[in-house]
Amino acid sequence: MCGIVAAAAQRDVAPLLIAGLKALEYRGYDSAGLAVLEAGQVHRVRAKGKVREMEALYLADPFPGGTGIAHTRWATHGVPNEANAHPHMVGRVTLVHNGIIENYVSLRTELQAKGYVFTSETDTEVMAALVDVNISKGMSLREAVLATVRELEGAYAIAVISRDEPGRVVGARRGAPLLIGVGIGENFLGSDAQALVQVTNKIIYLEEDDVVEISREGARIYTLDGKPVERATHESELSADAVERGEYRHYMQKEIFEQPRAVANTLEARIGAGGVLPNVFGIGGDELLAKVKGVHIIACGTSYHAGMVAKYWIEEYARLPVSVEVASEYRYREAVVPEGTLFIAISQSGETADTLAAMRESRRRGYLGTLAICNVPESSAVREADLKLMTRAGPEIGVASTKAFTTQLAALALLTLHLAKQQGLDSARYNDLCAQLHRLPRAIDEALKLEPQIIELAASFIPRHHALFLGRGAHFPVALEGSLKLKEISYIHAEAYPAGELKHGPLALVDEDMPVVAVAPNGPLLDKLKSNLQEVRARGGELIVFADSAAHIDGGATRGSILRIDAGGDFIAPAVFTVPLQLLAYHVAVLRGTDVDQPRNLAKSVTVE
């Protein structure tokens, strides 16, 4: 996490750096800072809190300068305060860092023995000191950074300036993203293309262990052994509009309402009247998928929930065994990989440290191949996978994933259909599933119309401390996703259970203070779910049931409400039922007055382990 932006330009860069940081704030927002080099002097401003707090300090006492680095932080080492905020300055060197340096304690001890005094609790300050030591030995800034990163263990993206080298910024990356923005007579570094959309759409993505030196004239890239290397320039398709909030109160709300369009984009030119089109999964994709005998899905958080839905789908329709696991567990255990198993990584950002580590680990475990389902085309996950399926959700700024999830489901539904056809699913059922998927954007659009009812319902959650979410089958992961959304942004403790598990423990929690949210699609499990709901009613629990319009559920509750949804079919129902749960979490959070787009302690792109 943490966001980095840097610039080497002829104009004053501080306002550009601040605008870039605001676009990167999703990566961390507990403190921010910037430093600008001008006439051999470094001016620095840092503040605890959001970028706007730091901006206010800068505006009260602005400084000129065409070379600068800036940072928005998600604390790993040391509490969020001004002293721990980046940039860190040691001697001639000023540095910003995203990542974790694992051997910083021993490096720090060595530096202290040489007389360095540290003013923060961070691992970052150690790097700045190491670069300074190397410069004292007569190295240029670039050579000093190269020598420093060779000593580091862990993950980093850094941007560094030196008082002695005006007009120059040196960057480096390992295990955390960093890219170059190529301007006209000015060049930039950023953690993502969004940070630079205001200044350029020409992007060069750095590879692992690259070191780069930018100046107004250009960018030179080097490998870890100091050899110059060329990397391709890409045109980013991001527009400044895509990251605007428009008429919506929060990005999250905007992103919830973008879902019909986003899902339609995911499906576009991938499914036709006769079903899923050929070559949807990239070059060689159809040939590789033809050999699949089983699937392992790895992901974190919301993306993991999408993977859980896919397990139900692929096992039911393609009759292939599927296992789903959170990446942080998978990477550290010896998973058994039967022959012909496809490894699927699901990640909105494509930069989640645990998911990337799991992907890399999968390479030595003998999979048939890897497929990345991802929202960011130039991300590490996409670049490292054999096959890719982009979710095309567009930038997601709200820290809580919404459209990323439903577009992941749409992508996984395409995969399910592809595998189901290949495995010989009956053609009438296949055609029915395809027709349902075609209907998905419209069904989501209809579900969004429940917003006024959900706002009313949300009011009853304001004083709550806990909530229970229930679902069965492919709607159990939907319940998990609903509870994750509620806890992330409203800070109400929420748990999700497969409804059948209720009586095996959690029923003990049910009383008049515990709202129980149930997802009740129409289908063979409905009667079972109704019995579970009776168990809640009998204990005085307040039931909030999201029910399919076609499902027969009577109001018989003494307390609670039923909201009707037209799910548009059993296959797509998990994606449709997700929408009211997102809206519920959103409106509860708004009513409770939390910071919806940037909830406490979280960050969007989790690039540390």
Which residues are identified as catalytic? 2, 604
- How many of the chain's residues bind ligand F6R (CB under 6 A)? 14
Q: At 542, give phi and psi (nearest 5°).
A: -90, 120
Least CB distance to ligand F6R at residue 300 (A): 4
Q: Which is nearer to ligand F6R, 131 or 344 (CB)?
A: 344
Among 30, 123, 186, 488, binds ligand F6R (CB under 6 A): 488
Q: Which is nearer to ligand F6R, 181 or 350 (CB)?
A: 350
Among 85, 144, 300, 372, binds ligand F6R (CB under 6 A): 300
**Considering just the CA atoms, what is the radius of gyration of the chain in Å?**
25
Which 8-state DSSP code applies to residue 318?
A: I
Tokens matching residue 541: 């629990």
Least CB distance to ligand F6R at residue 589 (A): 12
Alpha-carbon span 53 to 72, nearest angstrom:
11
Please return the burial class of 237, using the count of CB atoms within 10 Å of its CB with bins 0-12, 13-18 and 19+: exposed
Whether 92 contacts 135, CB under 8 Å: yes
Query: Is 553 one of the binding residues for ligand F6R (CB under 6 A)?
Result: no
Nearest to 278 by CA among 408, 414, 177: 414
Q: Which is nearer to ligand F6R, 43 or 254 (CB)?
A: 254
CA–CA distances in Å: residue 167 to residues 6, 44, 132, 471, 510: 11, 16, 18, 58, 64
Helices marked H in 460-609: 475-490, 526-538, 573-592
- Please count the other Cβ atoms lying within 10 Å of the Cβ belonging to residue 390: 19
Nearest to 193 by CA among 230, 263, 243, 262: 243
Least CB distance to ligand F6R at residue 352 (A): 3
Least CB distance to ligand F6R at residue 229 (A): 28
Q: Which is nearer to ligand F6R, 402 or 532 (CB)?
A: 402
Query: Is 25 one of the binding residues for ligand F6R (CB under 6 A)?
Result: no
Least CB distance to ligand F6R at residue 26 (A): 10
Antiparallel, parallel or unpaired: β 187-190 and 202-205? unpaired
Q: One symbol per residue from 322 to 361: x for binding ligand F6R (CB under 6 A), - otherwise; what is it?
A: -------------------------xxx--x--x------
Q: Among 82-90, 129-137, 299-307, 491-499, which window interacts with ligand F6R (CB under 6 A)?
A: 299-307
Least CB distance to ligand F6R at residue 158 (A): 22
Query: Is 400 one of the binding residues for ligand F6R (CB under 6 A)?
Result: yes
Q: Which is nearer to ligand F6R, 94 or 302 (CB)?
A: 302
Least CB distance to ligand F6R at residue 69 (A): 25
- Please count the other Cβ atoms lying within 10 Å of the Cβ belonging to residue 127: 29
Query: Is 407 one of the binding residues for ligand F6R (CB under 6 A)?
Result: no
Q: Which is nearer to ligand F6R, 33 or 175 (CB)?
A: 175
Q: Which is nearer to ligand F6R, 42 or 359 (CB)?
A: 359
Least CB distance to ligand F6R at residue 151 (A): 29
Alpha-carbon span 272 to 411, nearest angstrom:
14
- Whose tokens are 């550290």? That residue is 332
Q: Which is nearer to ligand F6R, 25 or 488 (CB)?
A: 488
**Sign of the CA dihedral running 520, 523, 525, 527:** positive
- Whose tokens are 């559920």? That residue is 553
Antiparallel, parallel or unpaired: β 341-347 and 369-374? parallel
Which 8-state DSSP code applies to residue 211?
A: E
Whether 149 contacts 173, CB under 8 Å: no
What count of Cα atoms within 13 Å lies in the side-chain half-sphere of residue 517? 32
Whether 414 contacts 276, CB under 8 Å: yes
What are the residues binding ligand F6R (CB under 6 A)? 300-303, 347-349, 352, 355, 400-401, 484, 488, 606
